[in-house]
Structure 1
Amino acid sequence: MGCAMNTYRMHSPFRQHRARVLFVCLLLNLAAAAPVAADDSTAQISDQISEPARPRIAVVLSGGSAFGIAHAGVLKKIEEAGIPVDMILGTSMGSIVGGLYAAGYSPQAMQDLISTIDWNSLFMDPKELPQNMFERAVESMYALRIGFDSKGPNIGTGLLEGQNILSFFTARTIHMAAKPDFDAFPVPYRAIAANVLNGDKVVFDHGSLAEAMRSSMSIPVVFMPYEYNDQLLVDGGVVDNLPVDIAKQMGADIVIAVVSRGKAPDSIDELNTSVEIGSQTGNLFIMQNMQPNIEAADLVITPNLQEFTTASYARAKEIIARGEEAGDAAMPQLRELAAKIA
């Protein structure tokens, strides 16, 4: 025991010295490695600063009944320019074209679908039989059911329940039924409607895509308001016909707006009936409300649709062609934008 203890005491200083040497070497190695790690971290941060994320692009489609069919043609040209669409928003007919695009339809597939639809039957309820029912409804939308009752003016609830068009939307978007979150779509999507109970703007960001489109295009008087989650919804054009503001709220850095509208009257001779006067009054209201969003957009594309009417659905191919022409006219700006974000 004594020898063992003496041996330990004799070798102990040497072991302590060796431990100190090893410890110093370890510190030197760490010190030498530390600048390298710092350099790597600095390089990573530098890369993040010098290579920012690509700007997010939103396409916003206005309402406009048959005029809105032109959106499909414009979308085709936006894709041809090489511009990625990170989100798409729309009101009324813009919500329909935008909804189909968000659900994965290509512009060409949309054009094929839209140009072959039997619009008369689509806008007709099963109980409605007269030919050109929708055209008659649009022409009469400001005059047909206006009257008075004990509570004052009464414009009725609308001619059409819209069951056929809801069934059509449901069938064409059935593959999206399992995706109630509109941000989970191939292209994130929003549709705009108006709650007639309180005048609120309703932004659809989840739920049924078919119901969102049906609600957004409930033209007052033409279609009955759509009941959804204790709300009574009508065409979003009443509150926001070009939702550029919503695109900005979603984080869009660049907004391409497509405004589809017809010809304004050149003289009082074109406003001979109460229907024509009422229609023009509605157009003025919508345009005034839309102007701030037009000014807020980075690029505005306006197809030339002066020879068409809000009910020119039978001329869908021609309207789509006008959309393509507008896209071609804007191609220099579109390609410039594509080059900037590449």
Structure 2
Amino acid sequence: MVAQPTTVSLVLGIGGARGLAHIGVIQWLTENGYDIRSIAGSSMGALVGGIYAAGKLEVYAGWVSELERMQVLRLLDPAFGRSGLFKGERLMGVLRKLIGDFDIENLPISFTAVATDLESGEEVWLREGKLFDAIRASIATPLVFTPFRYGGR
């Protein structure tokens, strides 16, 4: 009898650069026979989880591991006089190309990005629509990146 793989669902949290540890966790789980069925993530957890759900984790991990400090600084575009330190346009342009054009509802793994509606303060679960836009909404950290409208919110 062949053993069935253990299925898991992941909830990946915030953490900025520390959130890159999510990559190692996902790699360990898959290398050790775990079948990841669904992922929910907020901020960096949404970025890594969404990229994994789209089948692009190895590409992203390779890109991140090759980044040098000056390259990171060049990706940050100041948002003078706006509601965040950085507009995020340069970084988001690179991430959009890396992630590609996927609809959440068509991903092979169930995915939910968690964001906050800045007007109401409510938690919003993004389960359909463009993957990149859901990730962008989730990583729009107040005072760091300028806000991002998703679905009219």
Match of 2:141 in 1: 219
Identify the match of residue 45 of structure 2 among 88, 94, 103: 94
Identify the match of residue 63 of structure 2 among 100, 104, 113: 113
Distance between the aligned counterparts of 1:175 and 1:221, measured in 2?
28
Identity of paired residues, percent?
A: 30
Pairing 1:1-342 to 2, within 5 Å after superposition:
57-106=8-57, 108-117=58-67, 118-122=71-75, 124-125=76-77, 128=78, 157-176=83-102, 180=103, 182-231=104-153
Distance between the aligned counterparts of 1:109 and 1:172, measured in 2?
8
Distance between the aligned counterparts of 1:190 and 1:60, measured in 2?
9
1:55 Cα offset (Å) = 7.4
Q: What TM-score comes out, normalization by structure 1 length?
A: 0.40
Cα 1:183–1:55 change in 2 (3 A) is farther
Return 5+ residue gaps in structure 1 as ranges.
Answer: 1-53, 134-144, 146-155, 232-342
| CA offsets 1:114-162 (integer angstroms, 9 cap, x no match) | 212332222x12xx4xxxx9xxxxxxxxxxx9xxxxxxxxxx6112121
1:199 Cα offset (Å) = 1.0
Bigger strand fraction: 2
| CA offsets 1:240-261 (integer angstroms, 9 cap, x no match) | xxxxxxxxxxxxxxxxxxxxxx
Which of 1 and 2 has greater Rg? Answer: 1
Cα 1:68–1:99 change in 2 (3 A) is same
Contact 2:6–2:35 at 8 Å: present in 1 too? no
| CA offsets 1:201-234 (integer angstroms, 9 cap, x no match) | 1111111211111111111111111122321xxx
Contact 2:140–2:147 at 8 Å: present in 1 too? yes
Contact 2:39–2:112 at 8 Å: present in 1 too? yes
Contact 1:102–1:186 at 8 Å: present in 2 too? yes
Contact 1:214–1:226 at 8 Å: present in 2 too? yes
Return 5+ residue gaps in structure 2 as ranges.
Answer: none
Secondary structure at 1:114's aligned position in 2? helix
Structure 1 outlier segments of 4+, above 4 Å: none
Contact 2:15–2:44 at 8 Å: present in 1 too? yes
Distance between the aligned counterparts of 1:190 and 1:93, measured in 2?
13
Let me know the Cα RMSD of the aligned residues. 2.3
Distance between the aligned counterparts of 1:167 and 1:158, measured in 2?
17
Cα 1:228–1:90 change in 2 (3 A) is same
Q: What TM-score comes out, normalization by structure 2 length?
A: 0.84
Distance between the aligned counterparts of 2:119 and 2:92, measured in 1?
22
Distance between the aligned counterparts of 1:77 and 1:55, measured in 2?
13
Amino acid aligned to 1:99: G
Cα 1:225–1:183 change in 2 (3 A) is same
Secondary structure at 2:97's aligned position in 1? helix
Amino acid aligned to 1:86: R
Contact 1:166–1:211 at 8 Å: present in 2 too? no
Distance between the aligned counterparts of 1:104 and 1:80, measured in 2?
15
